[in-house]
Structure 1
Amino acid sequence: MNKSITRKLILRTLVIICLIVAAYFIIPVSVPIILAGITAFFLEPIVMFFKRKWKMSRKIAVAFIYIMSVIFISIICYFTITQLMSQIIVVSKQAPYYISKLSEMWLNMQDNISKYTEDFPAEVSASLQSTTMDFIKKIEESFLNIFNYTKVTAFFSEIPSLFISLLVYMIALFLFMLDLPKLKQVTYKYLKPSTAKKMKIISNRLKDAFFGFMKAHLLVSFIIGGVTLVGLLLIQPKYAVTMTLIIWLIDIVPFLGSIIILAPWGLYHLLMGNTSISVQLFILAVILLIIRRVVEPKLMGDHIGLSTLPTLIAMFIGLQLFGIIGLLTGPFFIILFIALKETGIIKLNFKV
C-alpha cells in the first residue's frame, strides 16, 4: 500500500515538473493565443446577450461582435498611427528651428546661471554651475540613448513579428469565440461535479469583475474628457474640441494616457516661447493625472467588488512588479484569490 502511494506521489510530482518545464518554454511563444483565449472568455457574455436578445445563432453573433471589434481596433490604430506620423513629419520639418531655439535656451540658461550666482562665493557658484551642467548632460545622454540608431532599427525590425502576432491573435480569437462552449464541455469532463461548480463560480466572478473594470475605465475616461474640454476651452479654444477628442480616444487605451499628448504639446509651446500656454498645459496634464490616480481606484473598487484600499494597493504593487500589465491585472488577482477562498480551494483557517 505504501509503495503504491509512493509511486503515485512520484508520478504526480514528475507530471507537475514536466508541466512546469513545458509551460516555461511554451507560454512565452504562445502569448497571442493565450490572450485570444482570455479575450474570448470575457467576450462570451456579450455573445450570449446577442443570442438571447436578437435570437441569433452563435456563428452570427460571434461574427457580428468580431467584425465590430476589428473595426473599432482598426479605427483606433489608424487614427493613432496617422496622427503620430503626421506629427513626426511636422516635427522633422521644423527640426532646424527647434535646434536653434534649444541653442538659444541653452545660452540664456548659462547666462542666467552666471548672473544669479555672481554674488555667491566662488566655490558655491562653480558647484552650482557644475551640477547644472551635469544634469543637462545626463538629459542629453538619456535622449540620445532613447533615440539611438540601434534601438530605432531594433524597434522597426520587430514590426513584422508584431504584425504576425496580431494576425495570429485575431484568427485565434475568432476560433476561440466559436468553439468556447465545446472547450468548456471538454474541460468539465475532466473535473468532478464539485470542482466544476467551483470553477463556474470563479469564472462568473472574474467576468463580473472584468465588465466592472471596463465600466469604471470608461467612466474615468469620460470624466477626463470633460475636464480636458473645459481646460482646453480656457487655454486653447481654437483646438479644444479636436484635441479633447484625440486625448479622450487615446486615454481610453489603458496602456496610454492624456499625458502622451499634453506633455509634447506643452513642450512645443515652451520651445515656441509661449511660456504661459505651456505652463497651463502642464498643469492640465498634472490635474488629469491626479484625477486618474485618485478617482480610478475608487471607481474600480466600486465596480469590481473591492474596497478602495485593496484596489489601490493591488494596482500599485502590480505596477511596481509587472509594469502597466500589473497595474491592470493587480485587482483581478485579489478577486481570484477571494473567489478561490470562498469556494474552499484555498483555506486560510489559522490563528497567530
Structure 2
Amino acid sequence: MNKLNIRKWLFRLLVILSLSVAAYFIIPVSMPLLLAGISAFLLEPLVMFFKRRWKMSRKIAVAVIYILNVILISVICYFSITQMMSQIILVSKQAPYYISKLSDMWLHMQENISKYTEDFPPEVSASLQHTTMDFIKKIEESFLDFFNYSKVSTLFSEIPNLFISLLVYMIALFLFMLDLPKLKQMTYNYLKPNTAQKIKIIINRLKDATVGYMKAHLLVSFIIGGVTLIGLLLIQPKYAITMTIIIWLIDIIPFLGSIIILAPWGLYHLLMGNTAISVKLFILAVILLIIRRVVEPKLMGEHIGLSTLPTLIAMFIGLKLFGIIGLLVGPFVIIFFIALKETGVIKLKFKI
C-alpha cells in the first residue's frame, strides 16, 4: 500500500472518529430535531397518498397531515396531563383512606401468614414471617424513595423543558415535512449514482420494516386485548371491560405490557386473602406473556420480512445486550444487514 492510500485511509478514519465524537455529544441534545426528522420520514407516505388521491400540492398535503398530527398530539397531551393532575389530586384527597386500607391489609396478611404457617416448625414459621417483613419493608422504602420530595420536584421542574422540546419538535416537524424532498435531493447530490441507488434500496427496506412492525404490534395488541377480555369476564366480570381497555392501552405502547397491571392486581388480592382470584390473575398474566412471546416473533417476521427464527434470535440477543429497547432494535439490525448484503455493500461469499 503506497503512501497516498495510507493517507486516504487515515483521513477517512479521522473523519469517522470526528463524526462519532460529534454525534456522541450532539445527538442527546438534539433529540427533538432527530425525532422530528424521523417523524417526517414516516409521515411522507401519507403526504404522497394525499397528493395522489386528491391532487393536492405538496404544501397543502403537508399542511393537512401536519394539522391532523398536531390535533392527535394535542389530544394525547391534554388527556395525559388532565388525567395525571386529577389522579394526583384524587390520591392526595384519599391518602388517609389508602393508609388505613394498607394498615388493614397488613394486619390481614399477618393473620393469613400465621394461619398458613401454624403447622410449620417454629424456625420455618419465624423465617417466613421475617422474610415477609423484609419484603414489605423494601416495598415501603422503594415507595417512599420513588415519591420523595426531591424526585417529585425534579419531575415537575422538567415540565417546562418538555414543553419547549415539544414546541421545537412541532416546528421542526413542519419544516422537515415541507423540505423533505429537497433534503433528500441535497443528500443524493453528494453521492455517486450507484451509492444513491443502494441508499434508496436500504431506506425503502427499513421503511417497509417499520410499517410492518407497527402493523404486527397493533395486531398482537388486539389479540392480547381479546384474550384479556375473555379472561377477565371469567375472573372479575364487574371490571372486565374497564380493565381490558386499560391493559390494551398499556400493552399497545412498545416495551410495556399487560403484566404491569395484572401482577400488582394479583398481588393485591393475594395480600387481601383472595387466593383464588389472585391465582387466576397470575395465570392470565402468564398466558398473555406466553402469547406475546410466541405470537409476536411470528407476526413480526411475517410483517417485517424475516422468518420467525431470525426474528426470535434477534429479539432475544437484542434484549440481552441492550435491554428492553433491544427487542425493537434487534430485528432492524438484521434487516439493515440483509439490505447491505443485497445491495452489495457487504459481500459474504466464502466457503470453509
Q: TM-score scaled by structure 1?
A: 0.87
Name which of structure 1's ranges 185-194 and 119-128 shifts more when overlaid on structure 2.
119-128
Question: 1:169 matched to which residue of 2?
Answer: 169
Question: 2:288 matched to which residue of 1?
Answer: 288
Amino acid across the alignment from 1:287:
I
Name which of structure 1's ranges 109-118 and 37-46 shifts more when overlaid on structure 2.
109-118
1:179 to partner: Cα distance: 0.9
Counterpart Cα distance in 2 of 1:119 and 1:129: 14
1:237 to partner: Cα distance: 4.3
1:343 to partner: Cα distance: 1.0
Name which of structure 1's ranges 328-337 and 106-115 shifts more when overlaid on structure 2.
106-115
Where 1:135 maps in the other structure, the secondary structure is helix
Where 2:180 maps in the other structure, the secondary structure is helix
1:201-254 superposed Cα distances (whole Å, 9 cap, x missing partner): 101111111111111112112222322333344445455444444443343332
Name which of structure 1's ranges 13-22 and 312-321 shifts more when overlaid on structure 2.
312-321
Counterpart Cα distance in 1 of 2:272 and 2:114: 24
Amino acid across the alignment from 1:48:
M
Please show how residues 250-265 of structure 1 align to structure 2 within 5 Å. 250-263=250-263
Task: Specify whether residues 143 and 106 from structure 1 end up closer, same or farther in structure 2 by C-alpha distance, changes over 3 A only.
Answer: same
Counterpart Cα distance in 2 of 1:118 and 1:281: 27
Question: 1:315 matched to which residue of 2?
Answer: 315
1:57 to partner: Cα distance: 1.1
Name which of structure 1's ranges 297-306 and 264-273 shifts more when overlaid on structure 2.
264-273
Question: 1:229 matched to which residue of 2?
Answer: 229
Please show how residues 19-30 of structure 1 align to structure 2 within 5 Å. 19-30=19-30
Where 1:30 maps in the other structure, the secondary structure is helix
Where 1:254 maps in the other structure, the secondary structure is coil
Name which of structure 1's ranges 159-168 and 268-277 shifts more when overlaid on structure 2.
268-277
1:8 to partner: Cα distance: 2.8
Counterpart Cα distance in 1 of 2:237 and 2:348: 58
Counterpart Cα distance in 2 of 1:293 and 1:76: 29
Where 1:4 maps in the other structure, the secondary structure is helix
Task: Specify whether residues 66 and 22 from structure 1 end up closer, same or farther in structure 2 by C-alpha distance, changes over 3 A only.
Answer: same
Cα contact 2:109–2:273 (8 A) shared by 1: no
Task: Specify whether residues 306 and 129 from structure 1 end up closer, same or farther in structure 2 by C-alpha distance, changes over 3 A only.
Answer: same
Question: 1:211 matched to which residue of 2?
Answer: 211
Amino acid across the alignment from 1:253:
I
Cα contact 1:47–1:65 (8 A) shared by 2: yes
Cα contact 2:228–2:244 (8 A) shared by 1: yes
- The answer to whether 1:180 aligns with 2:180 is yes
Amino acid across the alignment from 1:297:
P
Amino acid across the alignment from 2:298:
K
Please show how residues 66-215 of structure 1 align to structure 2 within 5 Å. 66-215=66-215
Cα contact 2:300–2:311 (8 A) shared by 1: yes
Counterpart Cα distance in 1 of 2:242 and 2:30: 39
Task: Specify whether residues 345 and 151 from structure 1 end up closer, same or farther in structure 2 by C-alpha distance, changes over 3 A only.
Answer: same
Name which of structure 1's ranges 187-196 and 234-243 shifts more when overlaid on structure 2.
234-243
Amino acid across the alignment from 1:330:
G
Task: Specify whether residues 275 and 324 from structure 1 end up closer, same or farther in structure 2 by C-alpha distance, changes over 3 A only.
Answer: same
- The answer to whether 1:7 aligns with 2:10 is no
Counterpart Cα distance in 2 of 1:44 and 1:126: 65
Task: Specify whether residues 34 and 266 from structure 1 end up closer, same or farther in structure 2 by C-alpha distance, changes over 3 A only.
Answer: same
Question: 1:332 matched to which residue of 2?
Answer: 332
- Segments of 5+ residues of structure 2 without an aligned counterpart are none
1:327 to partner: Cα distance: 2.1
Name which of structure 1's ranges 95-104 and 29-38 shifts more when overlaid on structure 2.
95-104
Counterpart Cα distance in 1 of 2:115 and 2:244: 42
Task: Specify whether residues 259 and 84 from structure 1 end up closer, same or farther in structure 2 by C-alpha distance, changes over 3 A only.
Answer: farther
- Segments of 5+ residues of structure 1 without an aligned counterpart are none
Name which of structure 1's ranges 51-60 and 74-83 shifts more when overlaid on structure 2.
74-83
Q: Percent identity?
A: 83
- The answer to whether 1:348 aligns with 2:348 is yes
Cα contact 2:50–2:61 (8 A) shared by 1: yes
Counterpart Cα distance in 2 of 1:237 and 1:183: 55
Name which of structure 1's ranges 279-288 and 311-320 shifts more when overlaid on structure 2.
279-288
Cα contact 2:108–2:272 (8 A) shared by 1: no
1:158 to partner: Cα distance: 1.9
1:246-274 superposed Cα distances (whole Å, 9 cap, x missing partner): 44334333244444444555566667776
Task: Specify whether residues 173 and 255 from structure 1 end up closer, same or farther in structure 2 by C-alpha distance, changes over 3 A only.
Answer: farther
1:169-221 superposed Cα distances (whole Å, 9 cap, x missing partner): 22212211111111111111111111111111101111111111111112112
Task: Specify whether residues 306 and 59 from structure 1 end up closer, same or farther in structure 2 by C-alpha distance, changes over 3 A only.
Answer: same
Counterpart Cα distance in 2 of 1:289 and 1:118: 35
Task: Specify whether residues 284 and 119 from structure 1 end up closer, same or farther in structure 2 by C-alpha distance, changes over 3 A only.
Answer: closer
Counterpart Cα distance in 2 of 1:43 and 1:108: 55
Tell me the matched-pair count. Answer: 352
Counterpart Cα distance in 2 of 1:92 and 1:267: 23
Counterpart Cα distance in 2 of 1:261 and 1:77: 22
